[in-house]
């Protein structure tokens, strides 16, 4: 069937094989015959395989259907050397020089930027992006945003900030402490639900509030 030792083939299907189902066997569509080739294969077999999926140490993937792969034929053994899935080709357009990405056709991407930042992106149920980003800038920054625009972030410019929109923010713990120069409550109502026993005393930046107990 083959007249060369290196082939570019399209994935037809993959299977987990072996007693422990930890080996990926890849089956490819058969090679088209050259019109001038006098030999014709009339057999009903329409796939090539199984082919071993060789990959880099520390990385594992299972090729999707219609992915393309460079297959090397070495004696009686066949293995994949490299592969690509055109369904995820847009990932390459999102990379800057020196960036690295781990991605899938589901739209999920882990991007390792040349700047040192790490970004995790995925598609939410509504088709919008969800992302979290860690950056070494200014000694460490963190940004998170869901597909509805709710955000949480920590950076040197804004400190720690949460924008939950119309959602509740709940802290559940044994003890809760706020240590700082001032506490500002820009709210329509302040409603403690536990038994209040200690009068709230302000400091230089906040005058005493005798009507407020904590």
Q: What is the pTM of this model?
A: 0.72
Higher pLDDT, 130 or 176: 130
Q: What is the pLDDT of residues 139-184, one digit of tens each?
A: 999 999 999 999 999 998 889 999 999 998 888 888 888 888 888 8
Q: What is the pLDDT of residues 78-89, one digit of tens each?
A: 888 899 998 888
CA–CA distance, 88 with 95 (Å, rounded to integer): 13
* DSSP secondary structure letter of residue 32: P
Domain boundaries, the chain: 6-84, 87-213
Q: What is the pLDDT of residues 182-196, one digit of tens each?
A: 888 887 777 776 665
Higher pLDDT, 57 or 76: 57
% of residues, the chain, pLDDT over 90? 36
pLDDT at 214: 47
Q: Are 121 and 112 in contact (CB under 8 A)?
A: no
């Amino acid at each position: 069937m083959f007249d060369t030792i290196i082939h570019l083939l399209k994935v037809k299907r993959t299977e987990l094989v072996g007693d422990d189902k930890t080996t990926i066997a890849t089956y490819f569509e058969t090679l088209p015959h050259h019109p001038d080739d006098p030999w014709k294969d009339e057999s009903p077999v329409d796939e090539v395989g199984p082919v071993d999926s060789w990959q880099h140490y520390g990385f594992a993937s299972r090729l999707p259907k219609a992915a393309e792969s460079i297959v090397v034929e070495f004696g009686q053994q066949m293995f994949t050397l490299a592969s690509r899935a055109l369904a995820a080709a847009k990932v390459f357009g999102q990379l800057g020089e020196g960036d690295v990405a781990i991605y899938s056709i589901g739209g999920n991407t882990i991007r390792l930027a040349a700047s040192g930042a790490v970004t995790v992106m995925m598609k939410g149920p509504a088709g919008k992006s969800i992302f979290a980003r860690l950056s070494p800038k200014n000694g460490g920054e963190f940004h998170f945003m869901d597909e509805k625009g709710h955000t949480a972030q920590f950076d040197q410019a804004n400190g720690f900030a949460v924008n939950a929109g119309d959602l509740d923010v709940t802290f559940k713990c044994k003890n809760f402490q706020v240590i700082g120069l001032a506490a500002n409550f820009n709210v329509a109502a302040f409603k403690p639900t536990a038994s209040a026993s200690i009068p709230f005393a302000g400091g230089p930046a906040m005058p005493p509030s005798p009507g407020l107990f904590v």
